Amino acid sequence: MRANRLGPADGLRWIAESFLIFRFAPLRQLLYGLAFLLTLIFAMSMPLVGFALVWLLVPALLVGPHEIARSASRRVSPSAELLLAGFGRSFAAQLRLGGVYLGGMLAVLAATIPADGGRFAQAMVGMTRLDLEELRAPALQNAMLIGALVQTAMLTALWYAPLLVAWKGIATGKAVFFSAAATLINWRPLLAYGMGMLLLFALVLMLALAAAVLIGGSGALQANSAMFAVLWSMLPVWFAGSYLSYRDVFEAGEGGDREPPKSPTIPS
């Protein structure tokens, strides 16, 4: 297994090229992104069961939008059945990988308990609801910050694992190891990509909020509508960039593709 070591500029290039992918069949990509988003929202709406179900199925669910991005990058019109690509032959391995995701998320929530006594963890699994006053509490905000940092580290390490299982056909444990190793040696382009996408998201969100204010309505409704609209519209771009990063890290140099500067071998 080879993982190409890329530079920070590649992370910014993924963002630019992701818009070129999005230009191909954009309405289809938006429609499929909406289906993906609504599936997660529906599952998370179920207390306790929803939390476990989402994280068990996340690896399989993530394969579909990446398949759509890969299809669009090849100028092939993506079909709706691609959304279920992760539930095919690799589903058993994806489900085992989902166990890793779920275990990781439980560890994330456990890490937040010392900060607020477990209030944030209870809210995340659907056991309680937080009001505005609680969200302003310093203890809860510290728990949220800890959770965000630990969860980001976990998800980054597992970034490529679902695609390695689906597209390379390797076992779950190896996929986790290769993904973690590849993200470690490519932390610079991944950081550039993440920061660039975060800034882009913030810019689009500000524009959406300004438009919502002009349209009118309650402040909470404006904010929620703008947040959902931006998240939905940015999903195809995010998945396209994620696919490009996988392609450049694991597939560049194969089949006549451009040869990256360095390609260290990860022991298998």
Question: Mean pLDDT of residues grouped by 10 in the chain (268 residues)?
Answer: 91 95 93 92 84 93 96 93 92 96 95 91 84 82 93 94 96 95 96 94 83 63 74 92 96 56 47
Contacts 24+ apart (CB under 8 A), 50-56: 50/126, 51/105, 51/124, 51/125, 51/126, 52/102, 55/98, 55/101, 55/102, 55/105, 56/95, 56/98, 56/99, 56/101, 56/102
Q: Pull the structure tokens for residue 44.
A: 């998370």
Q: Where are the alpha helices (DSSP H) in the chain?
A: 8-22, 26-44, 49-73, 91-116, 119-124, 132-135, 138-157, 161-163, 172-185, 187-215, 219-246
Q: So what's the pLDDT on residue 230? A: 84
The span from the CA of 243 to the CA of 255, in Å, is: 17
Q: So what's the pLDDT on residue 219? A: 58
Q: Pull the structure tokens for residue 136.
A: 């302003």
* pTM for the structure as a whole: 0.87
> Domain boundaries in the chain?
12-251
